[in-house]
């Protein structure tokens, strides 16, 4: 479904004009980048709900490159299914995230530039989109459900079961690759980190809060995403780590200014519009709106050097999803 999905994405995305470049141009010139900020999300609306307006602020910073890494397809057990709609649910969720990233980047009025192509990291084919001063990755492993037991329709696969050794492999919903063990997945994430951080003097890792006392009743996929990110970056001494409260923040007092609440709200609304554009159900609903006006996180400052990095190569499969 490569050409069809690519056409869907390029024609349905809101607020942007799509101009795809060749895969070999996928890596932008990072000579002016002072900081690379990585946002790790299990699902395609997580960073919008839990890590905003921090994400918007980073994107608006001309000297920061913001990298959004989405580990699961957010498919809710549908795999590559459509749930009776026109297009696959996971593609609609990706379109929501991509549209939100573009919306933020366009607000900053940075020099135009875009590249979209699958790339190889640690031998795994991963879809990557670079737009202005942002990059988005979609690893597309199956949604593991809140308890981490997986869904029957996708073979009861989950990040948690892979990490616990209950399954020996984890395949993507689009059939693009298979991860053979937890270490394989973590190594792949590390390759992405090394590729994107380049020679930047500052690195920030934005992840869900792993402490259940601070962040109770979180989704298994959120916690496994944090685990993968932290294990992949364990020897990046220079990196600051920001830990965000997820579901539990809806019960905490609003703490954002009116301006920051507007930034947070606009990104969620644009995400919803991107999902609707591919004929799936809107996430603009009372439940998700309970997270608005709040952002809670703690910071561990980095120190020392991040050391060397590895550079993977782009695949030659062109502009397909």
Would you state the pLDDT for residue 58? 98
Would you state the pLDDT for residue 12? 36
- Bridge-based pairing of strands 178-179 and 170-171 is antiparallel
Judged against a pLDDT cut of 70, whether residue 6 lies above it is answered with no
Would you state the pLDDT for residue 201? 87
Percent of the chain scored above 70 by pLDDT?
85
Across 215-244, average pLDDT? 97
Confidence of residue 110 (pLDDT cuts 50, 70, 90): confident
Across 192-211, average pLDDT? 95
Judged against a pLDDT cut of 80, whether residue 320 lies above it is answered with no
Residue 41, both tokens: 């999300």
Would you state the pLDDT for residue 321? 64
Task: Give per-residue pLDDT as tens, 158-168.
Answer: 999 999 999 99
Would you state the pLDDT for residue 30? 66
Judged against a pLDDT cut of 60, whether residue 318 lies above it is answered with no
Would you state the pLDDT for residue 303? 86
Would you state the pLDDT for residue 309? 57
67 contacts: CB under 8 Å, gap ≥ 6: 36, 37, 38, 39, 134, 135, 136, 137, 192, 196
How far CA 258 is from CA of 105, 158, 203, 254, in Å, comes to: 21, 38, 28, 10
Judged against a pLDDT cut of 50, whether residue 173 lies above it is answered with yes
Judged against a pLDDT cut of 80, whether residue 217 lies above it is answered with yes
Judged against a pLDDT cut of 60, whether residue 8 lies above it is answered with no
C-alpha neighbours within 13 Å on the C-beta side of residue 64: 21
In whole angstroms, what separates CA 4 from the centre of its chain? 23
Judged against a pLDDT cut of 80, whether residue 3 lies above it is answered with no
Would you state the pLDDT for residue 313? 47
Domains and CATH numbers, the chain: 2-300 (3.40.50.10320)
**DSSP-derived 3-state class of residue 24:** helix
Give the residue carrying structure tokens 């782009």: 314
Contact 209, 242 (CB under 8 A): no
Angle among Cα 152, 165, 209 to the nearest 5 degrees reads: 85
Judged against a pLDDT cut of 90, whether residue 17 lies above it is answered with no
Annotate 141-204 with DSSP letters as a single string.
Answer: EPP--TTS---GGGTT--HHHHHTTSSS-EE-TTSS-EE-SHHHHHHHHHHHHHHHHTT-SEEE
How far CA 42 is from CA of 12, 68, 71, in Å, comes to: 24, 11, 5
Among 37-41, 233-237, 304-308, name the one with the lowest average pLDDT: 304-308
Question: Does 24 or 80 have the greater pLDDT score?
Answer: 80
Mean pLDDT of the chain: 89
Question: Does 192 or 303 have the greater pLDDT score?
Answer: 192
Judged against a pLDDT cut of 60, whether residue 24 lies above it is answered with no
Would you state the pLDDT for residue 11? 33
Residue 86, both tokens: 């026109």
2 contacts: CB under 8 Å, gap ≥ 6: 317, 320, 321
285 contacts: CB under 8 Å, gap ≥ 6: none
109 contacts: CB under 8 Å, gap ≥ 6: none
Task: Give per-residue pLDDT as tens, 65-88.
Answer: 999 999 999 999 999 999 999 999
């Amino acid at each position: 479904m490569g050409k069809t999905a690519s056409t869907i994405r390029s024609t349905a995305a809101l607020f942007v004009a799509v101009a795809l470049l060749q895969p070999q141009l996928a890596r932008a010139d990072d000579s002016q980048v002072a900081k690379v900020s990585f946002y790790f999300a299990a699902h395609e609306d997580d960073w919008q709900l839990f890590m905003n307006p921090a994400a918007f602020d980073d994107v608006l910073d001309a000297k920061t490159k913001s990298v959004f890494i989405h580990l699961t397809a957010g498919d809710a057990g549908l795999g590559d299914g459509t749930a009776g709609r026109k297009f696959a649910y996971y593609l609609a969720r990706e379109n929501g995230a991509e549209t939100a990233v573009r919306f933020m980047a366009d607000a900053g009025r940075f020099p135009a530039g875009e590249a979209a192509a699958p790339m190889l990291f640690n031998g795994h084919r991963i879809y990557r989109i670079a737009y202005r001063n942002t990059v988005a990755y979609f690893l597309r492993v199956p949604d593991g459900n809140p308890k981490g037991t997986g869904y029957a329709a996708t073979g009861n696969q989950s990040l948690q079961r892979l990490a616990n050794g209950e399954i020996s492999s984890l395949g993507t919903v689009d059939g693009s690759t298979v991860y053979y063990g937890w270490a394989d997945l973590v190594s792949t994430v590390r390759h992405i980190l090394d590729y994107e951080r380049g020679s930047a003097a500052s690195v920030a890792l934005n992840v869900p809060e792993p402490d259940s006392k601070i962040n109770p009743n979180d989704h298994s996929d959120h916690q496994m995403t944090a685990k993968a990110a932290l294990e992949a970056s364990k020897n990046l001494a220079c990196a600051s780590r920001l830990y965000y409260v997820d579901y539990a923040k809806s019960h905490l007092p609003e703490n954002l200014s009116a301006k920051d609440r507007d930034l947070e709200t606009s990104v969620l609304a644009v995400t919803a519009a991107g999902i609707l554009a591919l004929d799936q159900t809107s996430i603009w609903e009372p439940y998700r709106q309970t997270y608005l006006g709040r952002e809670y996180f703690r910071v561990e400052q980095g120190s020392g050097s991040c050391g060397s990095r590895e550079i993977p190569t782009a695949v030659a499969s062109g502009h397909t999803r």
